[in-house]
Amino acid sequence: MSVLEQLNDKQREAAMQLEGPVLILAGAGSGKTRVLTNRTAYMIDEAGINPWNILAITFTNKAAQEMRERIDRLVGFGSESIWVATFHSTCVRILRRHIDLLGYDTNFTIYDTDDSKSVMKEVLKRLQIDTKQYPEKRFLNRISNCKNELSSVEDEERDALGDYADEMFAKVYREYQAGLKKNNALDFDDLLMKTVELFTSFPEVLENYQNRFLYIMVDEYQDTNTAQFELIRLLSAKNKNICVVGDDDQSIYKFRGANIRNILDFEKVFPNAKVVKLEQNYRSTQTILDAANAVIANNSSRKDKKLWTDKGEGEKIRFITVDTAYEEAERIVDLICADKRAGKCDYRDNAVLYRTNAQSRLIEEKCVMAGIPYSVVGGVNFYSRREIKDILAYLKTIDNGKDDLAVRRIINVPKRGIGATTISKLADHAAATGQSFYDCCVAAEEILGHGRAAEKIAEFVELISVFKSKLEFITLEQLVDDILERTDYEAMLEESDPDDAQERIENIGELVNKVVAFEEQNDEPTLSQFLEEVALVADIDNVDENADKVMLMTLHSAKGLEFPNVYLAGMEDGLFPGYMSICADDPEEIEEERRLCYVGITRAMDKLTISAAGSRMIRGETTRNPVSRFVKEIPQELMQGKAPAKMQPKVQPQAGPVKVKPFVTKAKPFAYLTKGSQISSTGAPDYGPGDRVAHMKFGQGTVTEMVKGARDYEVTVDFDNAGVKKMFAAFAKLKKL
């Protein structure tokens, strides 16, 4: 019996094509892992290929382990000789043997993120670069991008001539690499880059591995970056027996450096390549596949293919429109409960997918209120996120000051120069006297004596006292805003963790939404009541880890998974696709978002529900957006429920244009250190009163006033659709028309 008998015709064709370059375009749910493992078994059992000559590369350790186990079961004896590994582990094995040729010892250390950050801190300190203006992570991210693109220190120095920011970056890049080499260390990106350097600098080493790996297979090829592409190209250059498997329609990791051109241009790089399309889907109903096909067909940068199945037509896609995001979460949870009560599903059969992590908050709360066990995949529960716990700790301290954990959490957040020794002395005194930690802070001068430490503690106590004094005169929303304003908390996020800052700020905005909703739902809302409600909603620690759970996750986290019932929430233009993608000049941004939508749709096996809200709260203000363009790309005959051209709430919140609170960062301006960027923007903008401008979120409008401030220009714009807005020029990034 042939190992290929269990494959369909196209899968069998792909598995039997062993010689020359092969591109297997494996649509969602088409059984690509089965093809790869059976292809490997066929190569050994029926084609007589030595296992020693086979290299199979995956992206994750989990995928490599799964492939290894399947191959071992199919092949049996001799399978241990096959290299089944990730890109990085493959490179480590090669470098352990030969990196001495590049001036390193073969017992090199591999640095993790924290190690790399420590090296960068030393470099920036030595070069006297202000890390508040130019954070370490910004440099590290750009260095990572350079290495992914195989851009060396010398390349960056050559390209930087005449540009101060780029010259500074090149100097940091050189010092960072020198620091690594001094420690005989490589960072994660070096593993790929140094292997490519080894192969190009020492052809005899490359030829040795070309003779070893006569047959090469690469999984998830659409996710490869330039360094990974070049590594594969070099290894396969002699024998040309390269088989790559991937789906250009599921290329959703551009932000990580993935280059979709690698799969789209495969036939150009490898002439005479054999292309096999796997279009039979074993996961979803035909209705779901027809919807996915219709959406992705609007992308121009793709290989033509059309998924089909023999599972049958299945149920129509359920499209739900509600007035608010609150109702959306309620409706989704009600539908899951109804199906569960009717015996149509277990909780684990349901997944709620969304574009941003901040969207999980309402759904989590509704799950808790309904008694539904759930798990947030690829992230932490909303009220467990660092920034949310920080703001809640401030509120708890303001409320009564008896929560020692809350006080100690935020006494030095943002940093106030209060050292661990000082905190320890106060904590010891509190334990010895039975006082609360906050009461000891109030009496810090008596406990610590006169000095800088006591002064810093006094400043913290004064801050909390100011908040307490305002409590009966302002709303809870205003209190949260005041905390953010006086502590410069968002600026701290921008400076300490710039790459995750925007998502964390969005989460804070979602907490503001919660505060606003609480005040609207209670006649005489108090801070104590709010904290009590949050504590009850956030009490998820008692959920049994082994129980049925509804899965909540972002669309990026859902790739590679499947569920009988999928709910796509927040399908509105401005949210998905986001404003940044809509307003970008690059059409590839929308195509990337559309591929993400395609991934979401194809996670559904039997039932797909799509929902959109007529209004949604962003940082405490109500906004309205039309239904996502991706929903409108689905043929109406496939759906229950009609997608209107533009959604409006049944009750208008007020006359006139909807107000949207503009986000204004309190962080000091700093260079983003992307290639070609300027160090600062201290000069006047290139527009003035009377000029027409465009904003990525609010659209087009006319500048009516400009006022020069201490650090930036305050610009007033009368937008055609969004009304009058005031914002800072550096953040607004208005484009003159």
- In the structure encoding, which two tokens stand for residue 349, read together? 């059969």
Annotated catalytic residue, options 13, 175, 187, 220: 220
Q: Kindly provide the b/e burial profile for residues 132-167, where b requires at least 16 CB atoms within 10 angstroms of the residue's own CB.
A: eebbbbbbbbbbbbbbbebbebeebbeebeebebbe
**What is the β-pairing status of strands 692-695 and 735-736?**
antiparallel
Local structure of residue 182 (DSSP, 8 states): H
Omega cis (within 30) before 577: yes
- Using an 8 Å Cβ cutoff, are 136 and 117 in contact? yes
Tell me which residue has tokens 């399309």.
277
Q: Known catalytic residue: 250?
A: yes
Give residues with Cβ within 8 angstroms of 467, minimum separation 6.
394, 398, 479, 482, 483, 486
Give every CB contact of residue 446 below 8 A, 6+ residues apart in sequence: none
Q: State how far the alpha carbon of 510 is from the alpha carbons of 357, 400, 480, 504, in Å.
A: 10, 24, 12, 10
Quick check: 295 and 597 in contact, CB under 8 A? yes
Q: How many angstroms separate the CA atoms of 281 and 289, rounded?
A: 8
As a residue count, the chain comes to: 737
User: Smallest Cα–Cα separation from 382: which of 193, 534, 221, 588?
Assistant: 534
Q: How far is CA 664 from the centre of its chain?
A: 22
The encoded tokens of residue 584 equal 């970008």
Q: What is the DSSP letter of 675?
A: T
* Catalytic residue selected from 12, 32, 70, 385: 32
CA distance 197 to 192: 9
Q: Are 379 and 477 in contact (CB under 8 A)?
A: no
The dihedral formed by the CA atoms of 516, 517, 520 and 524, expressed in degrees to the nearest 10: -80
Q: Which of 362, 333, 364, 365 is nearest to 350 (CA)?
A: 333
Phi, psi of 21 (to 5 degrees): -70, 135
To the query of whether residue 147 is one of the catalytic residues in this protein, the response is no
Cβ-contact 230, 242 below 8 angstroms: no
303 is a catalytic site residue: no
32 part of the active site = yes
Catalytic residue at 220?
A: yes
Q: To which residue do tokens 């190009």 refer? A: 200
CB of 495 within 8 A of CB of 667? yes
Can you spell out the DSSP letters for 27-50? -TTS-HHHHHHHHHHHHHHTS---
Name the amino acid, one letter, at 83. W
Q: What is the number of alpha carbons within 13 Å of residue 492 lying toward its C-beta?
A: 16
State yes or no: is 219 an active-site residue.
Answer: yes
| DSSP, residue by residue, 606-645 | EEEEEEEEEEEEETTEEE--PBPHHHHTS-GGGEES---S
Residue pair 264/615 in contact (Cβ under 8 Å)? The answer is no
Catalytic residue among 504, 603, 616, 629: 603
Closest CA to 464 of 486, 496, 493: 486
As annotated, the active-site residues are 32-33, 219-220, 250, 603
